């Protein structure tokens, strides 16, 4: 995920965080470079993967929602929200 702010200098700096989620313990944001973030699924505070992907079962939960809040460094700080929808694909995980 890439974020932008047209303000110059310090006011153009943007910080993002997960504000809400359908499963809060599963998703975190990791800043990988200036204004670039990645969603980390099921990771610890060091962004190391800790769960098996079997927790993603389309039959139980067809999609996940992650609400991201991005704030600039202005005074007063302005912010925006974005909702990410992660849709699960169905795979044939059961033999007929």
Would you place residue 81 in the very low, low, confident or very high pLDDT band (cuts 50, 70, 90)? very high
Distance in angstroms (rounded) separating the CA atoms of residues 56 and 76: 40
pTM over 0.85: no
**Residue 52: pLDDT over 60:** no
Q: Reduce the DSSP state of residue 9 to 3 states and report it.
A: helix
pLDDT digits (tens, 9 = 90+) for 4-42: 888 877 777 888 988 888 777 778 888 888 888 888 877
Helix (H) or strand (E) holding 15: strand 14-21
Distance in angstroms (rounded) separating the CA atoms of residues 24 and 55: 14
**C-alpha Rg value of the chain to the nearest Å:** 16
What's domain 13-87's superfamily in CATH? Cadherins (2.60.40.60)
Distance in angstroms (rounded) separating the CA atoms of residues 77 and 29: 20
């Amino acid at each position: 995920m890439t974020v932008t702010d047209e303000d110059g200098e310090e006011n153009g700096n943007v910080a993002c965080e997960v504000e809400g989620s359908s499963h809060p313990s599963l998703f975190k944001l990791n800043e990988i470079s200036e204004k670039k973030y990645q969603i980390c699924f099921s990771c610890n505070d060091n962004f190391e993967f800790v769960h098996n992907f079997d927790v993603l079962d389309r039959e139980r939960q067809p999609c996940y929602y992650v609400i991201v809040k991005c704030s600039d460094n202005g005074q007063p700080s302005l912010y925006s929200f974005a909702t990410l929808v992660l849709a699960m694909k169905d795979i044939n995980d059961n033999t007929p």
